[in-house]
Amino acid sequence: MFCFQCEQAAKGTGCDIQGVCGKMPSSSNLQDLILSELEALSFIVRGKEMPPAVKRLILDGLFTTVTNVNFDDKALVNMLKDINATKLALLGADAGAAPADLAFKAADTDAEIIAQARAHFANSVHARENADIFSLKSLLRFGLKGMAAYACHARVLGVEDDGVYEFFAEALSALHGEADADTLLGLSLKCGEVNLKVMEMLDKANTAAYGHPEPTRVRTTPVKGKALLVSGHDLKDLAAILEQTEGTGVNVYTHGEMLPCLAYPGLKKYKHLVGNYGGAWQDQQKEFARFPGSIVMTTNCIQNPKGYADRIFTAGLVGWPGVAHIHSGDFAPAIEKALAMDGFAEDAPAEYITVGFGHQAVLGVADKVVAAVKAGKIRRFFLIGGCDGAKSGRNYYTEFAEKLPGDCVILTLACGKYRFNKLAFGAIDALPRLLDMGQCNDAYSAIRVAVALAQAFGCSVNELPLSFILSWYEQKAVCILLTLLHLGIKNIRLGPTLPAFISPNVLRVLVDKFNIAPITTAEADLKAILG
Ligand code: FSO
Ligand code: SF4
């Protein structure tokens, strides 16, 4: 196996024995083969009318291979068979004359398919020989994976776009063949452009279904009673769980990236959605072990559920070997498990934070924000956002937020916010100094706000008193970074470490074009920005 798609890549270069995330070599090789088959499938359908099954497989196949989504070889084999059968059916009578990679046929048994995936990995090692091309192909591949995750969330709420599918096919098909550096860099920036559209689609899907997030004070400590915890990113799954638990006496909690759901009118209307439990994904093993109820993982980031595998359930594309999977939105097994468990014996001392500063809420007070900047009450905005993770060095983000002078405002999103979202930052006039804009895909809100502020001040986004201090972990962060680059945003500080898949030459291009910089220390970076 070889995988370097996330920030945990072993030794800063790549996982080649077993994933730091727990991914086994068989799963890694199967995921590589899924990718290769999606690229072949896209090569066949590019420029043609795409059958619905192909659209579904492109999104599901890509999302399945994102970090911490699916560790279950059985599910990966089934996904591979599905893609392979669809590809061969489209090739039809041409299959006999097609080159080997297009005509590849999956074997009959799971063990044989796992052996085919191992052979595919061994045969593709040469693809890494040209480090810069491999780096650019990886940048595009990982951006597409992240974008597929968002497109899947929009699709479950009924929002799709043919142009988006066409781009997936165009980019995957370019990855199937030989492509030069300029083409690959161009496609990566185009991926950023299309991802902006996908995030807009998801924003529309979420807000049409559940209303616009509203600033909401939410409880972060447990209350007495039976308990069910929902993690991941899927609003529709949470809505189904809330409907299905209504009147059962089970209290529902959000976890990790589900925290922003507590601010959507269509979700917070349920009285038994009582609050958020725990922190970011990397703390789940100790927090889930202590949770006295059942747990549902709707998307990444799942970790080895050692000690609680009998009361965690996966949904959608998530999988862990031996863990019960929820099919067709029927969460009865998880609800029964929650009812069978003790739940919380007591109310914990009440603690609250405020969430729900999506673009509608922030732009609703845009005139006050602009006036505060003009009056010198707000010196600068800092978007401190992105993923959290287990590696050391991430306390940089806590320190950075803590060290910010009182006339600076923090915009935040994604799970990295857990590093500082319970600290007291106070307010400037009536505007809180910490504005939680939502999940990682709500980078869309941050972009809307930045563009509106730039219009109000008659300048470009790069000229605004706004700095981007980003943390990354997995591939959704990659596609958001590509979106920011597509928008021409410069001087992004990225950490905790730069991606292993960016070669020195590719980094040089990104630095020259966009002045991306690695984070250093909170003190030094703040000094450099504020002068
Ligand atoms: Fe975090 Fe995981 Fe949301 Fe990611 S929970 S790390 S970027 O899946 O998508 O922010
Ligand atoms: Fe390693 Fe990350 Fe790949 Fe897992 S997803 S195998 S931790 S690089």
* Ligand whose nearest atom lies closest to the CA of 3: 2
| 515 found inside a domain | yes
The residues facing 231 across adjacent strands are 297
In a domain, 350, yes or no: no
Task: For residue 117, give the H/E element and its range.
Answer: helix 110-123
In the listed set 209, 238, 264, which residue is the last one of a domain according to the structure?
209
- Distance (angstroms) between ligand 2 centre and the Cα of 130 equals 21
Residue 229 inside a domain? The answer is yes
What is the separation of C-alpha 412 from the centre of its chain, rounded to a whole number of angstroms? 15
Residue 82 CA to ligand 2 center (angstroms) comes to 24
DSSP state, 301? -
Shared domain check, 237 and 186: no
The residue from 209, 236, 255 where one domain ends is: 209
Q: How many CA atoms lie within 13 A of 463 on its CB side?
A: 8
The model's pLDDT over 182-193, given as tens digits with 9 standing for 90+, comes to 999 999 999 999
The residue assigned the tokens 């196949």 is: 61
Q: Are residues 508 and 417 in the same domain?
A: yes
- Residue 177's pLDDT is 87
Own/partner pairs for 93-98, CB < 8 Å, 24+ apart?
Answer: none
Which CATH number is 76's domain given? 1.20.1270.20
531 has pLDDT over 90: no
CB of 410 shorter than 6 A to ligand 1: no
Are 154 and 257 in the same domain?
no
Residue 3 covered by a domain: no
Range of the domain at 45: 10-209
Could you tell me if 330 and 222 lie in one domain?
A: yes
Mean pLDDT, residues 214-226 taken together: 98
CB 281 near ligand 1, within 6 Å: yes
pLDDT tens column, 53-94: 999 999 999 999 999 999 999 999 999 999 999 999 999 988
Q: Report how far apart, in Å, the C-alpha atoms of 510 and of each of 12, 184, 488, 513, 515 are.
A: 19, 13, 11, 5, 7
What confidence tens digit (pLDDT) does each residue in 262-297 have? 999 999 999 999 999 999 999 999 999 999 999 999
Name all residues whose Cβ lies below 6 A of ligand 2: 3-6, 8-9, 15, 19-21, 23, 67
CA distances from 180 to 78, 135, 510 (A): 33, 12, 17
If asked whether residues 474 and 507 sit together in one domain, one would say yes
Among protein residues, the one whose CA lies closest to atom 6 of ligand 2 = 19
351 in any annotated domain: no
The pLDDT of residue 101 is: 84
> Which candidate, 222, 67, 50, places its Cα nearest to that of 141?
67
Model pLDDT for residues 465-515, shown as the tens digit of each residue: 999 999 999 999 999 999 999 999 999 999 999 999 999 999 999 999 999
Give me ligand 2 centre to Cα 93, in Å. 39
Cβ-contact 427, 441 below 8 angstroms? no
Buried b (16+ CB within 10 A) or exposed e, 357-377: bbbbbbeebeeebeebbeeee
Q: Does pTM surpass 0.95?
A: yes
Query: Do 469 and 362 belong to one domain?
Result: yes
Residue 119 above 90 pLDDT? yes
Instruction: Look at residues 209, 227, 248 and tell me which one is the last residue of a structural domain.
Output: 209
**Alpha-carbon distances of 517 from 318, 447, 460, 494, 525, rounded to whole Å:** 34, 20, 20, 6, 10
187 and 308 together in one domain: no
Q: Indicate the pairing of strand 427-428 with strand 431-432.
A: antiparallel
Structure tokens at 193: 């452009």
What is the pLDDT, as a whole number, of residue 461?
97
Q: Supply φ then ψ for residue 184, to 5 degrees.
A: -70, -40
- The count of domains in the chain is 3
Q: Are 279 and 409 found together in one domain? A: no
Q: Are residues 236 and 105 in the same domain?
A: no
Q: What is the mean pLDDT of residues 223-251?
A: 98
Q: Are residues 230 and 273 in the same domain?
A: yes
Are the C-beta atoms of residues 358 and 436 closer than 8 Å to each other? no
Please give the distance, rounded to the nearest whole angstrom, from the Cα atom of residue 295 to the centre of ligand 2: 24
In a domain, 388, yes or no: yes
Q: What integer pLDDT is reported at residue 374 of this predicted model?
A: 95
Provide CB contacts within 8 A for 119, sequence distance 6+: none
Confidence at 127, pLDDT banded by 50, 70, 90: confident
Residue 1 lies inside a defined structural domain of this protein: no
* Residue 478 domain-assigned (yes or no): yes
Domain CATH code at residue 415: 3.40.50.2030
User: Does residue 305 sit in the same domain as residue 238?
Assistant: yes
The token duo for 189 is 């920036």
Query: Candidates 23, 121, 475: which one to mutate for ligand 2, based on the most atoms within 8 Å of Cβ?
Result: 23
**204/220 same-domain check:** no
Asked if residue 486 lies in contact with residue 198, where contact means CB atoms within 8 angstroms, the answer is no
